[in-house]
Structure 1
């Protein structure tokens, strides 16, 4: 079979003896960080005091004085402590000591919506249209379908194949710098799990290869949990056909349990609860029996999670339409994103384990996606792994048996699964019901949708001699200002993959140059030539900030490290300034995934109640033959100042206005 290449040829090779080394993430220069910080405050000061020049100068002078005093005094002490921490750290000062705790594990908010990312896959072209529309039949009255099981088996098989190739250095070899970074990052996706603990969570360690629990996938069907062994003892993946038969055996087991009028206690919903509450319930579960401790170990050791949902969620009433909405329509895609994000709204938080870094979710009509806990890696890494799984549709030759085998036909197949039934008491039953109500409130408040903007894309932006990423950031700034009539601190993620164990740094997209351009766009007296010149300046400034952040010269990770070095009783006005807090209150939180046509939509939650979480992709749809810019947008219904629908419209309007501006400037130049 011929497979379309989505990995650069430079990352696919045999093992090369020489292995490059990545440099350590630097401790940024204190003076440079403070100067960049002062520059980042300019738009906030201008916004508050721009019409009062005397007040403006006073505000700037005060912040400069604080920065100078900080640099000469306690700041230099903190900087030296940070350097000492770095010297004592095996990899770097940030990843080894600070980032996981402060960015993720100390957060006590529920993971669902607030922290976990979600991703909707393109549909498999081998699945019949009638199945996608909800006419897929039913396996033993479970609600699951044969095509659903087959696609799940194929996706798991492909993921295991990628994992094996990665370990053998057949993809992203360690002979490349990108390979070093990616192999280290991808290793954190598999066979691990977040573990709830009071005040600060932790992460499990990967099991030794000899343990059977490390060769399993954690499977959810009707809220029942199963461990399915998907690797042989020599750690090679079982065939796609064997995987399909193992999954079917579990589905038939679920059918027998349903026929016996059993109902699962939805333990998994506890993982979507507030972290300290989940910690208490987790400890109580472990105290109930040694068997529960064994289950917890299997959950932590399992390679990834797999959820087979016994329904296909639709936004319209009744919940299960017949037929379902046409694939790739706005309504259908939004419904899919909602189910991946948090499960069916009628029973939110179920049939998932929100602490796993990667869970595949396949609905009854075979549409699929992924959801993951964010702390081990950033969403780009699992998206690359999933891209390998999704890019190639189901290969019928990989399945020797016909679709939809009967229970009798697979009864002789060796059993590769076991039930994971927790011992529970009335407290746990009650806690599951109460947790579900709390999760329901979170889910009901999440205004989550996807925007496919197809008027133009990356190629057009490049022809205008502008950076696509910076162009999109300017569009988001303009859209925000038009809907809120003010400016806000904006977080854009950039990777520090140039460094050993690099994670991310913040690009502060709101700058004085950004502000000047946005205001010019709103001023009808400003000429197109002036507006375009201001846009060019703003984009250049943003690109420079992005380059500095990628090279480990950002502001926010350095400030985080410095603040963590403060000892009891130490303080400084710099960190207590209202503008310091305002400049880090990310009401626009933005990120991006790798370009590709495998995703229908993506998403993550807004970190602020009155803000937006926005994921963006710029790509070419090979199958459709056109470019599209995709935005996954989340806000809160309960906030009167936000609306995902209105912001989608504002983004589209901003992009079209920017295209018109570039065209006007080009004609004027000619």
Structure 2
């Protein structure tokens, strides 16, 4: 078809008869359409930039303001305190006739005043959002006067209908903590991990650092803070992600899962078509910035910068450091099936293909009996191996010729779609089959995922979905936001016919997928196989277990007046202590997106309070009443740490940046070396749910025929990361508009183990009575066992519930 020949829209030859020009009309038309789309995108982005620069005002309100001033001045009411007459006399009358100069002076004054008003609101909001005391205050009717006044001022100053990037200008800068505060917090967190002798040595190192080298490093870091929009994020991306030379498969990339309890279709090509089309619709909303920024308590915006590189993005390997390359646009996806790579165009005549039109292309790929080219089947193993080896191979074997053009087709694709040959069978009891499914989405067979792309959509032979995400460009909530949109569009809006195929009729003859061509030498093939061998050894060492806590969930925790996240973190502390027999450094990821370009901060969940409570649980001399008291103290302190991390008062990012400065200066610090070498034996992360309730309600209301046809429980539609609730219930009640907490139910996702002898635990509070724990470790470690740890979590959660069951007065029913 036309798109297959874009690169050869015309050719010419010089012969005896002169110059012979061969012009391909279809190809030339495709190139023109591509150019028009590019210019339309530039225009749209320019208009969005103008809108964002005036937010919380707007062009229409600004025009109305200028018009009002002009009209008042025309009728003799000078609201400018004689500024307009001065402008008219000394500026505009030199170049224009009196009547024109009068109106120009009015417009100039109106624009100037309006910009000043907007900037005043921006600076006011920036100041208001620099205050984070609201996180530590009681909300609702019992709130004190200060949070109420703050809330009122924010509502007064903030604009309406912000676009995705409208709020970026008035997000505050991440504060730089003082050296003394960070040292004091750090020493408190490591106290339960060291005996008296080790702790005394650490105190001495910290004191020496604080009095000598620390002050010098802090001055340099303060200068960076002064000159940058975020003193952490660029270094974090560079040194934590891009400079890592080990494999990013398992070690960095993370995964998310599909719905668990409902299957909209079993036809692979149909599911792939719906998901692909939905993803491009989401990209369109990103380009148009019509997606609303996430707001904490529907009031405080989160930074949206990470959304910019979600599509058309690839991580390019380098000898010493990788780099992230983002392309402004892409009109195709790359597809992997049965060892072959394809380029699939998703636009025709400048219009996005319908799911039924995409399904035809996916069917063509699945029916293709062509054998893979030499080296093609395992080619993607290069992205699963060591980065330096991949960089060398890329430079030597993929820099010219057909290898270069085929590699470009993959790297410049909007994203990757993997049509897996295996089936994933999910069951309600979360058996080993579910663990095999999670394994497949995390690493596959090491050669059937392009781990460098921003994300891979993976669709199994029986149409089960999962996604694998490269971590350096953004954190999990950003991908989760996209996937919740895609899955909602897939089922509720697009749907499937009675046979499980996509709906609709193709508008034209289907475009043909283009099979990519490769010329891989024997030497290059040996490198590919070497990388595959190393990657296979890596993923076979992963012990992955998904434990489902369905006896109780956040509903019970709230009745106990405890934070669900803190409650679960305490359960993990108890489980890990019983598993390892000692306390270990624990990492919980917290976001810093309340600040411009913020990413994450560390909450150190193992604290003095948590260790006291954990010890009490296995001490028969301590009563349940005392245990509950200690648990509340531990949860309260954990919540304080979490709020501190969110508000820029964390520990680890500050120490990390001080360490980077020391390396730039070429000086060594025994204290910082000790801190940065401490292993995180337990690394945890909560998968947030941020579903757009209003959007879901609208889709449900406008697609009741789809819901009725497939008997979908509207309270089972997924949120970020994928997943559905445990048991469908009365559909007719849902159709009548009932909408409860189960609408946010999903099974989340996970990541590989961080330490060789530690655990990685990702969990999602999926409903009032449902929590998914994704537990990973290494089989080669005799100290860990993911299934054993799952059992310890089950027992810890049960023991914690028994505390309150045996002491009913400690459980307080919370009114909704």
TM-score category by the smaller chain?
0.7 to 0.9
Q: In structure 2, the residue corresponding to 1:542 is in which secondary structure?
A: helix
Quote how far apart the aligned CAs of 1:417 are: 3.2
Partner of 1:658: 800
Q: 1:114 to 1:504 in 2, by over 3 A?
A: same
Please point out which of 223, 226, 233 is paired with 1:95: 233
Partner of 2:757: 610
Q: 1:656 to 1:279 in 2, by over 3 A?
A: same
* 8 Å Cα contact 1:166/1:172 also seen in 2: no
Return the structure number with greater relative CO, CA threshold 8 A, min gap 6.
1
Please point out which of 321, 343, 348 is paired with 1:227: 343
> Are residue 513 (structure 1) and residue 609 (structure 2) matched?
yes
- Deviation sequence 1:486-529 (CA, Å, 0-9, x none): 01000000000101111000001111111111111111111111
- Cα distance in 2, alignment partners of residues 555 and 497 from structure 1: 16
Quote how far apart the aligned CAs of 1:238 are: 2.2
Partner of 1:171: 291
* 8 Å Cα contact 1:507/1:545 also seen in 2: yes
Partner of 1:143: none
* 8 Å Cα contact 2:261/2:427 also seen in 1: no
- Cα distance in 2, alignment partners of residues 342 and 377 from structure 1: 19
Q: How does 1:301-320 map to 2 (within 5 A)?
A: 301-312=412-423
- Cα distance in 2, alignment partners of residues 388 and 178 from structure 1: 22
Which ranges of structure 1 fall in alignment gaps of 5 or more residues? 1-9, 50-54, 132-146, 314-323, 621-625
Q: How does 1:630-669 map to 2 (within 5 A)?
A: 630-667=772-809
Partner of 1:594: 688
Partner of 2:174: 25
Q: In structure 2, the residue corresponding to 1:193 is in which secondary structure?
A: strand
Partner of 1:545: 641
> Are residue 72 (structure 1) and residue 208 (structure 2) matched?
no
* 8 Å Cα contact 1:18/1:175 also seen in 2: no
* 8 Å Cα contact 1:223/1:268 also seen in 2: no
> Are residue 299 (structure 1) and residue 436 (structure 2) matched?
no
Q: 1:336 to 1:223 in 2, by over 3 A?
A: same
Q: 1:113 to 1:240 in 2, by over 3 A?
A: same
Partner of 2:273: 153
* 8 Å Cα contact 2:592/2:600 also seen in 1: yes
* 8 Å Cα contact 1:24/1:500 also seen in 2: yes
Q: Determine which structure has the larger helix proportion and give its number.
A: 2
Q: 1:572 to 1:438 in 2, by over 3 A?
A: closer
* 8 Å Cα contact 1:105/1:200 also seen in 2: yes
- Cα distance in 2, alignment partners of residues 307 and 233 from structure 1: 26
Quote how far apart the aligned CAs of 1:224 are: 1.3
TM-score of the superposed pair, with normalisation by structure 1: 0.83
Quote how far apart the aligned CAs of 1:424 are: 0.7
> Are residue 374 (structure 1) and residue 471 (structure 2) matched?
yes
Q: 1:153 to 1:123 in 2, by over 3 A?
A: farther
Q: 1:178 to 1:431 in 2, by over 3 A?
A: farther
Quote how far apart the aligned CAs of 1:396 are: 8.8
* 8 Å Cα contact 2:303/2:595 also seen in 1: no
Q: In structure 1, the residue corresponding to 2:170 is in which secondary structure?
A: coil
Quote how far apart the aligned CAs of 1:581 are: 5.1
- Cα distance in 1, alignment partners of residues 409 and 182 from structure 2: 45
* 8 Å Cα contact 1:333/1:600 also seen in 2: no
- Cα distance in 1, alignment partners of residues 231 and 775 from structure 2: 33
Q: 1:184 to 1:233 in 2, by over 3 A?
A: farther
Q: 1:646 to 1:267 in 2, by over 3 A?
A: same
Partner of 1:251: 366
Partner of 1:575: 672
Quote how far apart the aligned CAs of 1:263 are: 8.2
Partner of 1:282: 394
Which ranges of structure 2 fall in alignment gaps of 5 or more residues? 1-157, 690-718, 725-745
- More off after superposition, 171-180 vs 597-606: 171-180
- Cα distance in 2, alignment partners of residues 12 and 440 from structure 1: 52
- Cα distance in 1, alignment partners of residues 339 and 355 from structure 2: 24
Q: 1:16 to 1:167 in 2, by over 3 A?
A: closer
Quote how far apart the aligned CAs of 1:44 are: 1.5
* 8 Å Cα contact 1:25/1:92 also seen in 2: yes
> Are residue 339 (structure 1) and residue 440 (structure 2) matched?
yes
* 8 Å Cα contact 1:110/1:275 also seen in 2: yes
* 8 Å Cα contact 1:307/1:362 also seen in 2: yes
Partner of 2:317: 196
- Cα distance in 2, alignment partners of residues 178 and 199 from structure 1: 43
Q: In structure 1, the residue corresponding to 2:463 is in which secondary structure?
A: coil
- More off after superposition, 168-177 vs 289-298: 168-177
- Deviation sequence 1:343-373 (CA, Å, 0-9, x none): 1xxxx21221011121100010111100011
* 8 Å Cα contact 1:239/1:398 also seen in 2: no
* 8 Å Cα contact 2:804/2:810 also seen in 1: no
Quote how far apart the aligned CAs of 1:292 are: 2.2
Quote how far apart the aligned CAs of 1:662 are: 2.5
Please point out which of 225, 243, 247 is paired with 1:106: 243
Equivalences, count: 597
- Cα distance in 2, alignment partners of residues 498 and 325 from structure 1: 38
* 8 Å Cα contact 1:491/1:508 also seen in 2: yes
Quote how far apart the aligned CAs of 1:284 are: 2.1
Q: How does 1:347-366 map to 2 (within 5 A)?
A: 348-366=445-463
> Are residue 424 (structure 1) and residue 510 (structure 2) matched?
no
Quote how far apart the aligned CAs of 1:574 are: 1.9
- Cα distance in 2, alignment partners of residues 374 and 541 from structure 1: 30
- Cα distance in 2, alignment partners of residues 543 and 654 from structure 1: 20
Quote how far apart the aligned CAs of 1:330 are: 1.4
- Cα distance in 1, alignment partners of residues 528 and 344 from structure 2: 25
- More off after superposition, 117-126 vs 639-648: 117-126
- Cα distance in 2, alignment partners of residues 174 and 618 from structure 1: 19
Q: 1:217 to 1:327 in 2, by over 3 A?
A: farther
Q: 1:453 to 1:126 in 2, by over 3 A?
A: closer
Quote how far apart the aligned CAs of 1:391 are: 3.0
Q: 1:421 to 1:663 in 2, by over 3 A?
A: same
Q: Give RMSD over aligned pairs.
A: 3.0
* 8 Å Cα contact 1:587/1:606 also seen in 2: no
Q: 1:338 to 1:295 in 2, by over 3 A?
A: same
- Cα distance in 2, alignment partners of residues 463 and 401 from structure 1: 44
- Cα distance in 2, alignment partners of residues 635 and 12 from structure 1: 47
> Are residue 272 (structure 1) and residue 389 (structure 2) matched?
no
Q: In structure 1, the residue corresponding to 2:545 is in which secondary structure?
A: strand
> Are residue 527 (structure 1) and residue 627 (structure 2) matched?
no
Partner of 1:135: none
